[in-house]
Structure 1
Amino acid sequence: MRGKECRRADVDRSKVSKGKMGRLFQRLIETRETSETSIRSILFLQDVGHQKVGTPMASPISVVLTEMAMQRYEEEVLVDAPPSLKLWVRCVDDVFVVMRKGEAEPFLDLLNGKNEAIQFEIEKEENERLPFPDIMVKRNGATLTTRIYTKGTHTNRLLDYNRCHPVAHKRSVVKTLWSRVEKVCSTDDSWREERSHFKKVFRDNGYPNSVVRRWTTQQPNVEIGDNRRYAPRVTVPYQEGASEIAARFPRKHGVEEVLNPETRCMEP
């Protein structure tokens, strides 16, 4: 990717018109102002503090406002980016950049000079490796390879198979983490290493080999576009042994049952 192409920011943009986006933004601002006292006040050690900068903490509108601000920030920054900028990939507030080493520091100054509230720090590759969220990127000449990355403090503790949780939740853990291996590992060697580590981790967390083999070899069944059908849902408390049997009845009538392990069925 050339620098001139990168300045156009290869990211998905909303197709909502500017007028509708402006009205949405105004509505979000009004919502924030009306709930400012309850959302932006912080209680810490019996002292009440007031947040003056940034979006409301723990508010659902903060995600929307932050993404809108970062997209606008990208458009302004990439216009002035140096031609040596080959790649710009952003994940929330983390950015992966490929450019010449000598221009990294001036580009960092450019990023931090656009907005005082948005300040970046730089982390350069070491031994041709650079971690990105959940991914370790390795440079082999002009080629980049990826594999799973976990911090040294990661304990490999997952939802134990012997815990009182719905079986569907335990299967979902296997499917989700295996899907990450399939998507992230870009070479056969890294895939085989992660597959071996994957099996060991689940074995240490009490998962039977049959469960791991079943959900790592099953092909995903995904319907794309307007063909998807959304069934009505009902949330019920979970009781081991009984809830799985009871879940069969609403399915016969096209209703999906969601088991909630945090709400227990209390005995009389």
Structure 2
Amino acid sequence: MGNCLASIVAEIVMSELQEQALSGLSFRVPLFKRYVDDIFTILPHDKINDTVGVFNNFHPRLQFTVEIESNGSLAFLDVEVIRDGVSLITRWYNKPTFSGRVLNFYSHHPFSHKVNIINNMKSRALQLSHESFHSNVGTKKDQQYSNGK
């Protein structure tokens, strides 16, 4: 199951990395968000390689990769971050490998667990999605963002 200190050590290392790497850059990073070892940031295109180099020079066993937005959007954790003019909006996101299977209704779990799974998924979708996606599910506007326009 792993060492119980692993998450604490990871947080300490990543906090130190964040502090050192950001202070080592020759420019100001306008947006930097991190969850454990997943980082979302906004950078000028000509500074991407410099930034990855600074992060990768922190320790030889820590090497980062880059994913650049495609069609104005980028998946980060459970959200799709969409560039909408000068704003960023989010929508609940599932990876392409998501099977859609959660819990078989005919399993022997208590009915309350089954209901709570649905309620939690609904709450999660609403909390992670910009309000423009709340009432437009399956409409042309929702499909427009799905196609990256």
TM-score by length of 1: 0.49
1:31-70 matches, cutoff 5 A: 58-70=2-14
User: Which of 30, 37, 49 is the matching residue for 1:105?
Assistant: 49
Moved more, 121-130 or 167-176: 167-176
- The structure showing larger relative contact order (alpha-carbon pairs under 8 Å, at least 6 residues apart) is 2
* Distance (Å, rounded) in 1 between the aligned partners of 2:36 and 2:102: 25
Query: Is 1:183 aligned to residue 139 of structure 2?
Result: no
Identity percentage over the alignment? 27
Residues 84 and 100 in structure 1, CA contact (< 8 A), matched pair in contact too: no
**Whose Rg is larger?**
1
Q: CA deviation at 1:195?
A: 9.1
User: Which of 138, 144, 147 is the matching residue for 2:88?
Assistant: 144
Kindly provide the amino acid, as one letter, of the partner of residue 6 in structure 2.
Answer: S
C-alpha RMSD of the superposition: 1.9
* Distance (Å, rounded) in 2 between the aligned partners of 1:137 and 1:72: 26
After superposition, give the CA deviation of every residue in 1:79-100 in whole Å (9 maximum; x if it has no partner).
Answer: 1234241111001111001111
Change over 3 Å in CA distance of 1:194–1:150 after alignment to 2: farther
SS in 2 for 1:123: coil
Residues 181 and 194 in structure 1, CA contact (< 8 A), matched pair in contact too: no
**Which runs of no fewer than 5 residues in structure 1 stay unpaired?**
1-56, 197-268
Change over 3 Å in CA distance of 1:82–1:186 after alignment to 2: farther
Residues 145 and 187 in structure 1, CA contact (< 8 A), matched pair in contact too: no
Kindly provide the amino acid, as one letter, of the partner of residue 150 in structure 1.
Answer: N
Q: CA deviation at 1:114?
A: 1.4
TM-score by length of 2: 0.84
Residues 17 and 55 in structure 2, CA contact (< 8 A), matched pair in contact too: no
Change over 3 Å in CA distance of 1:82–1:138 after alignment to 2: farther
